[in-house]
Amino acid sequence: GPPLLLHHGLTGSGQRWRDEGYVAALRDRFTVILPDVRGHGQSSKPHDPAAYDRFARAGDMLAVLAAEGIERAFFWGHSLGGLVGFTLGRHHPDRVRGLVLTGFNPFPWPPAEAAEVASWVAGLRGGMEAFVVGYEERHGPLPAAARERWLANDSAALVACMEAWVAEGDGRVGAELPDIPIPALLLIGAEEPFVAEVERAAAAMPEATAVVLPDLDHAQTFFRSDLVLPHARAFLDDLNCGDRYGGTGHHV
């Protein structure tokens, strides 16, 4: 099937999409590509925030497609992956057939979101164990497999990644939304602190829809794949069957 590139969020890896059932649900229609993104998993882990700007990370995704001989792909980004998806959609729309973006706010952060991000950075500075414990105190226990994978991360690399993300959280992405010409589905948990911003983002884009997922917080917009997948699958199937943005090149 056509290629679908999945970009995990902070602390994640390509494997996490398998663990939570996404690959099993999507591989009958799509060729799923699961990179470990910069700073995570088996990829390089620089400790310099300058290595993690959104254009460098978007370039990594283009390099993955080039390595597979793929001209165009669907893209699904969660959280940190949402920033990369918006960047690809604006600056490389010829490489992306459609976007699914979960749990990302392209506008300046409201106070609750800024406070949560600050708590992440503070926790990471204390190492992965302190970070995970602090996260679970605020949000409840992580699934066992996810907790193990979070603890395996390089905390200094994640601090650098977060510092770059904070620097880009000033609304510069939001200003680009009217110039993203490809279809997009923006999914947001009702318990996330930036629902209004995501709805505003969809309204600013030429071909975007926002869907609010009842009762879900930020982590659950990934871990509750049973509630997320039906929306994303319907959107991707509609684009794929309609072939409105049919790509060329080799589909592996």
Tens place of pLDDT per residue across the chain (252 aa): 999 999 999 999 999 999 999 999 999 999 999 999 999 999 999 999 999 999 999 999 999 999 999 999 999 999 999 999 999 999 999 999 999 999 999 999 888 888 888 888 988 999 999 999 988 998 889 888 889 989 999 999 999 999 999 889 889 999 999 999 999 999 999 999 999 999 999 999 999 999 999 999 998 999 999 999 999 999 999 998 865 433 322 222
pTM: 0.92
Structural domain includes residue 69:
yes
Tell me the C-alpha distance between 114 and 179, whole Å. 26
Structural domain includes residue 121:
no
Cα–Cα distances (Å) from 215 to 24, 103, 188, 218, in that order, read 25, 14, 10, 10
Structural domain includes residue 118:
no
Structural domain includes residue 132:
no
Question: By the 8 A CB rule, do 207 and 181 touch?
Answer: yes
Residues pairing with 213 in the sheet: 189
Number of structural domains the chain divides into: 1
Q: Is 114 left (phi over 0), alpha (psi -120 to 50) or beta?
A: alpha
CATH number assigned to the domain comprising residue 96: 3.40.50.1820
Cα–Cα distances (Å) from 223 to 29, 141, 177, 236, 245, in that order, read 21, 12, 27, 19, 29
Buried b / exposed e over 85-106, threshold 16 CB at 10 Å, is: bbbbbbbbbebbbbbbbbbbbb
Q: How many CB atoms lie within 10 A of CB 129?
A: 12
Q: Domain range holding 70?
A: 3-109+171-242
Structural domain includes residue 188:
yes
Question: Can you give the pLDDT at residue 115?
Answer: 87
Q: Letter for the amino acid at 157? A: A
Question: By the 8 A CB rule, do 35 and 106 touch?
Answer: no
Structural domain includes residue 135:
no
Structural domain includes residue 87:
yes
Task: Kindly state the tokens that stand for 221.
Answer: 């917009």
Q: Letter for the amino acid at 145? A: A
Question: Can you give the pLDDT at residue 243?
Answer: 54
Structural domain includes residue 131:
no
